[in-house]
Homo-oligomer: A and B are copies of this chain.
Amino acid sequence: MNDVAAAAGVALKTVSRVVNNEPGVNTATAERVQAAIDRLGYRRNDGARTLRQGRTSSIGLVIEDVADPFYSGLSRAVEDVALGHDYLVFTGSSGESPTRERDLVLAFCARRVDGLIIVPAGEDHEYLTPEVDAGIAAVFADRPPGAGPETDIVLCDNSSGSRAGVEHLIAHGHRRIAFLGDSPAIFTAQERLRGYRQALAAAGLPYEERLVAMGPGDQARVQADVERMLSSPEPPTALFTGNGRMTVATLRVFASLASFAPPGVRHGGGAEPMERPALVGFDDFELADLLKITVVAQDPVGLGRTAAELLFQRLSGDDGPPRRVELPTRLVDRGSGEVGPGS
Q: Which residues of A come within 8 Å of B, CB atoms?
A: 41, 43-48, 50-51, 56, 58, 65-69, 72-73, 75-76, 79-80, 83, 88-93, 106-112, 130-131, 133-134, 248, 251-252, 255, 262, 285-287, 289-291
CA distance A38 to B210 in the complex (A): 49
Does B91 contact A47, Cβ atoms closer than 8 Å? Answer: no
Among B43, B76, B107, B111, contact of A106 (Cβ-Cβ < 8 Å): B43
Q: A109-B43, A287-B291 are in contact. Are A88 and B90 (CB under 8 A)?
A: yes
CA distance A94 to B65 in the complex (A): 20
Does A112 contact B45, Cβ atoms closer than 8 Å? Answer: yes
A45 surroundings in chain B (CB, below 8 A): 51, 110, 112
Apart from A51-B51, A67-B76, list 6 A-B contacts with CB within 8 A: A41-B130, A45-B51, A47-B47, A47-B51, A67-B73, A286-B287
Does B110 contact A44, Cβ atoms closer than 8 Å? Answer: yes
Q: A43-B109, A93-B79 are in contact. Are A66 and B66 (CB under 8 A)?
A: yes
Among B65, B111, B285, B289, contact of A88 (Cβ-Cβ < 8 Å): B111
Does A290 contact B255, Cβ atoms closer than 8 Å? Answer: yes
A67 to chain B, nearest CB (A): 4
A109 to chain B, nearest CB (A): 6
Does A89 contact B88, Cβ atoms closer than 8 Å? Answer: no
Give the residue name and chain of the B residue nearest to A129 (CB). Answer: B41
CA distance A111 to B68 in the complex (A): 28
A91 surroundings in chain B (CB, below 8 A): 66, 75, 79, 89-91
16 pairs, A vs B, C-beta closer than 8 Å? A41-B130, A43-B106, A43-B110, A45-B51, A58-B90, A66-B76, A66-B79, A67-B72, A67-B73, A69-B69, A88-B108, A90-B90, A251-B287, A251-B290, A285-B286, A285-B287
Q: A76-B65, A88-B92 are in contact. Are A290 and B50 (CB under 8 A)?
A: no
CA distance A50 to B48 in the complex (A): 9
